[in-house]
């Protein structure tokens, strides 16, 4: 049995940052990371652009100017202004070379043919110069930038609609257990509703990983072997829920051995989630997660998360840890590391009730985990503890 720290190091070492690049239409690329730096192919704005509805003027000494025409957004004008001339100009319109400044409409008095300026005239007001936002050839966005609505908007404004992104991992989730049935069916005696597969799916969606396939099997050796073998072929990462302990009907470990999965660790000195398995076959990483739902979710965020972040080529792969003041006490009997469902707020952290690994209700009000290393078996009120911030 290895320690939590060794388990984390092992995953970091063995996680693949294969950084496969794929082309994506921008509008379908939300949540992906850019696979390369992007340089501006054009100036933004590409022409001198009016930032206001108003009057462009070629400055002279008087306050009154002669209006010679109008330019609206999208017009391809060929106006030239002499001193003392003005042109009505609308927001987004191209501003002629010899317009010195644009006076906002609200600060003018207009007659049929003239406009009187009611403010101090300052050159270059309300005109966005060429390349004000970014100039052609300048770096627009760096590699690894996460694509979000602002990124999509910015790149489209540069005329870019397709980008190279880092491929997201394909994930297979295998749920094991004779007792598990799908919601919608009535529960017979001894049955429970299957929740881990959708919980893990949701955790992946939450990280914007959408290429996920769920397989459900009974506690049966043949099905366990064939389903795991197939999932290893199909996916970058396989998450197996349940069946990894030492019970008579836990077939996952035996199946993994018979499939010659390279065992990197099995069993971690922790609570919950002691029977955690991590291994590799070819380039596929395999996690055997505990069946108890809260333990499965804790292992997802403490271990699987690292492997997912590595896949994207991130250097920071663990969830953020902070120090916080405990508002509750806790005592652990044995010498092992403990993850506690917790609620963190403004530097303080509460230990939630119902720490049992089967119980998810307390997880629904949790936003963090307290981590107690194996050499620390007690929290007293006002102690400083390590808190892992959950990403949801």
Binding site for ligand AMP (CB under 6 A): 175, 177, 179-180, 192, 194-197, 241-243, 245, 247, 290-293
Q: Using CB under 5 A, pick the residue from 54, 96, 177, 290 that binds Mg ion.
A: 177
Number of neighbours of residue 97 by Cβ within 10 angstroms: 10
- What DSSP string describes 110-151? E-SSEEEE-S---TTTTEE-TTSSB-TTSEEE-TTPBP-HHH
Q: Which residue is nearest to ligand AMP (CB)?
A: 291
290 binds, among Mg ion, ligand AMP, none (CB under 5 to 8 A by kind): ligand AMP
- What DSSP string describes 326-340? ESS-EE-SSSSEEEE
Does residue 362 contact residue 354 with C-beta atoms inside 8 Å?
Answer: yes
Nearer to Mg ion among residue 177 and residue 272 (C-beta): 177
Q: Which stretch binds Mg ion (CB under 5 A): 14-22, 176-184, 194-202, 272-280?
A: 176-184
100 binds, among Mg ion, ligand AMP, none (CB under 5 to 8 A by kind): none
Distance CA 210, CA 195 (A): 18
Distance CA 216, CA 223 (A): 10
The nearest distance, CB 299 to ligand AMP, in angstroms, is 11
Q: Using CB under 5 A, pick the residue from 242, 272, 288, 293 that binds Mg ion.
A: 242
Q: Which stretch binds Mg ion (CB under 5 A): 98-106, 170-178, 204-212, 365-373?
A: 170-178
Distance CA 330, CA 297 (A): 21
175 binds, among ligand AMP, Mg ion, none (CB under 5 to 8 A by kind): ligand AMP
Nearer to ligand AMP among residue 60 and residue 218 (C-beta): 218
Nearer to ligand AMP among residue 85 and residue 194 (C-beta): 194
Query: Which long-range contacts does 110-117 make (Cβ < 8 Å, 24+ apart)?
Result: 110/67, 113/66, 113/67, 114/64, 114/65, 114/66, 114/67, 114/86, 115/55, 115/57, 115/64, 115/65, 115/67, 115/86, 116/63, 116/64, 116/65, 117/55, 117/57, 117/63, 117/64, 117/65
Q: Which stretch binds Mg ion (CB under 5 A): 79-87, 210-218, 242-250, 377-385?
A: 242-250
Considering only CA atoms, give the Rg of the chain. 31
Task: Decide: is 290 part of the binding site for Mg ion (CB under 5 A).
Answer: no
The nearest distance, CB 273 to ligand AMP, in angstroms, is 10
Nearer to ligand AMP among residue 226 and residue 245 (C-beta): 245
The nearest distance, CB 254 to ligand AMP, in angstroms, is 14
* Total binding residues toward Mg ion, as defined by CB under 5 A: 4
Binding site for Mg ion (CB under 5 A): 177, 242-243, 291
């Amino acid at each position: 049995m290895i320690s939590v720290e060794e388990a984390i190091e092992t995953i970091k070492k063995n996680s693949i940052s294969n950084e496969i690049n794929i082309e994506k239409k921008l509008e379908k690329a939300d949540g992906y990371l850019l696979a390369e730096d992007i340089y501006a192919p054009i100036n933004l704005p590409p022409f001198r652009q009016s930032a206001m509805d108003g009057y462009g003027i070629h400055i002279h000494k008087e306050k009154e100017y002669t209006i010679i025409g109008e330019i609206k957004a999208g017009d391809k004008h060929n106006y030239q202004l002499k001193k003392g001339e003005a042109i009505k100009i609308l927001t987004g319109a191209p501003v002629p070379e010899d317009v010195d400044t644009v006076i906002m409409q609200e600060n003018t008095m207009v007659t049929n043919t003239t406009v009187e300026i009611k403010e101090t005239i300052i050159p270059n007001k309300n005109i966005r110069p060429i390349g004000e936002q970014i100039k052609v050839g300048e770096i627009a966005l760096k590699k690894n930038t996460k694509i979000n609505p602002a990124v999509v908007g910015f790149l489209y404004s540069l005329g870019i609609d397709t980008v190279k992104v880092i491929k997201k991992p394909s994930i297979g989730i295998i749920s094991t257990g004779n007792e598990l049935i799908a919601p919608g069916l009535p529960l017979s005696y001894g049955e429970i509703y299957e929740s881990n597969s959708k919980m893990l799916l949701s955790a992946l969606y939450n990280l914007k990983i959408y290429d996920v396939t769920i397989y459900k099997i009974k506690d049966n050796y043949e099905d366990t072997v064939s389903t795991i073998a197939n999932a290893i072929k199909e996916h970058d990462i396989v998450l197996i829920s349940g069946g990894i302990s030492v019970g008579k009907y836990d077939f996952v470990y035996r199946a993994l051995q018979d499939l010659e999965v390279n065992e990197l660790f099995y069993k971690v000195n922790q609570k919950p989630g002691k029977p955690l398995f991590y291994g590799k076959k070819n380039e596929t990483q395999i996690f055997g997660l505990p069946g108890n739902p809260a333990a499965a979710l804790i292992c997802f965020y403490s271990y699987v998360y690292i492997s997912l972040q590595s896949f994207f080529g991130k250097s920071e792969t663990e969830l953020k840890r902070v120090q916080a003041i405990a508002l509750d006490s806790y005592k652990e009997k044995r010498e092992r590391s403990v993850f506690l469902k917790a609620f963190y707020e403004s530097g303080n952290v509460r230990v939630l009730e119902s720490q049992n690994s089967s119980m998810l209700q307390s997880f629904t009000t949790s936003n963090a985990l307290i981590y107690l290393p194996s050499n620390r078996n007690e929290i007293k009120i006002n102690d400083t503890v390590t808190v892992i911030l959950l990403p949801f």
